[in-house]
Amino acid sequence: MHDPIITTDNLMVELGGNPVLRNLRLTVSPGEIVAVVGPNGSGKSTLLRCLAGLQPATSGEIRVFGEPPADDAAFWGRVALLADEPAWYPGLTAREHLELMGAVHARPRMTVDAAMEAFALTERGDAPPLNLSTGQRQRLCLAAALLRPSTLLLLDEPERGLDAAFRDRLTGLLAAYADEGGTVVMATHDEGLAAGARQISPAGVGA
């Protein structure tokens, strides 16, 4: 039995005096895909931020890789977080952002060419990211997150802006990531993405 990647115990988070997460208990094992589902405002993004160490808990305990999440290089070396669209580096093309990602990590999961192909960006490689459509930018974000090596992938609404065909393809890409031993926790409203995952609701106590 592998040690769990993530454990939370009686996790409570209040934002501006409003309880957003209450007594959340969650255990995620290596290789699992977990879909955090629920209506708007149910605390999905807050849970992801807690797991990434970007939102302190009001009470309770969060452990990622057996210790509290820390905003440092060692942590981000193992965790890839994709929440809102990042700020792109000025003067670089879409492809060069992926090249940078590949150059920084010693053993990328795929080559830049393979990532461009898998995320249907080959024809737009020379465009600055801001000249891409919303969906193409989201594909670029996902390509960057999946090109780099990681143990845990935290995704906040990865389906944002994607067409139906690519959402199906994303399900396959995430399954392949999990097959390699990676763990995925994603907040999603997409039923197709959630269907292949263990579904939890932050509103449901002790999910």
Partner 1 sequence: MSGPEASVRTVRAYLRSRGRAPATMIDRYAAVFGLAMIAAVLGHPLSGLLTGLAGPIDPVRAGAGAALLALAVAGFLAAARAAGPVLLPAADASWLLLSPLNRRHLLGRTARALGVIALVAGVLLGVGLLAVLGAPDQLGWRLVGALVLGVSATAGGLALAVLGQVSPSWQIWLTGAMAALLVLAVVAMSGQLRTVMTIAASAPLTALAAAASGAAMLSALLVRRAWTSLDRIPTRTLANASTRAGHVARATVSLDPGALTWIAEDNRWRARRLASRRWPSLPAPFALAWHDWRKLARTPGRLAAVAATAALPAVLAQAGGPPGALGAAVLAGALAVASLGTSGARRDADNPALARLIGVGRRPALAARAALPALLAGVWAATALTALTLAVPATPQTATVATVTATATAGAGAWWVLGLLAGPALAAAALRMAGRAPVDHSMPVLDTPGGAIPTGPLFWAATGPDLALLGCLPTAIALLTQPAVLTPFLIAQAVMGAVVLMGYVWRTGRMR
We find the least distance from the C-beta atom of residue 100 to partner 1, in angstroms, to be: 6
Write a three-state SS string for the chain: CCCCCEEEEEEEEEECCEEEEEEEEEEECCCCEEEECCCCCCCHHHHHHHHCCCCCCCEEEEEECCECCCCCHHHHHHEEEECCCCCCCCCCCHHHHHHHHHHHCCCCCCCHHHHHHHCCCHHHCCCCHHHCCHHHHHHHHHHHHHHCCCCEEEEECCCCCCCHHHHHHHHHHHHHHHHCCCEEEEECCCHHHHHCCEEECCCCCCC
Backbone angles phi and psi of 153, in degrees to 5: -115, 120
Q: Residue 22 or residue 160: which is nearer to partner 1 going by CB? A: 160
We find the least distance from the C-beta atom of residue 151 to partner 1, in angstroms, to be: 12
We find the least distance from the C-beta atom of residue 173 to partner 1, in angstroms, to be: 16
Q: Residue 143 or residue 194: which is nearer to partner 1 going by CB? A: 143
We find the least distance from the C-beta atom of residue 115 to partner 1, in angstroms, to be: 13
The residues of the shown chain that bind partner 1, judged by CB under 8 A, are: 52, 71-73, 76-77, 80-96, 99-106, 125-128, 130-131, 144-145, 148
Q: Residue 12 or residue 92: which is nearer to partner 1 going by CB? A: 92
We find the least distance from the C-beta atom of residue 79 to partner 1, in angstroms, to be: 8
Q: Residue 130 or residue 205: which is nearer to partner 1 going by CB? A: 130
- Contacts for 72 with CB less than 8 Å, ≥ 6 apart: none
Q: Residue 130 or residue 195: which is nearer to partner 1 going by CB? A: 130
We find the least distance from the C-beta atom of residue 75 to partner 1, in angstroms, to be: 9
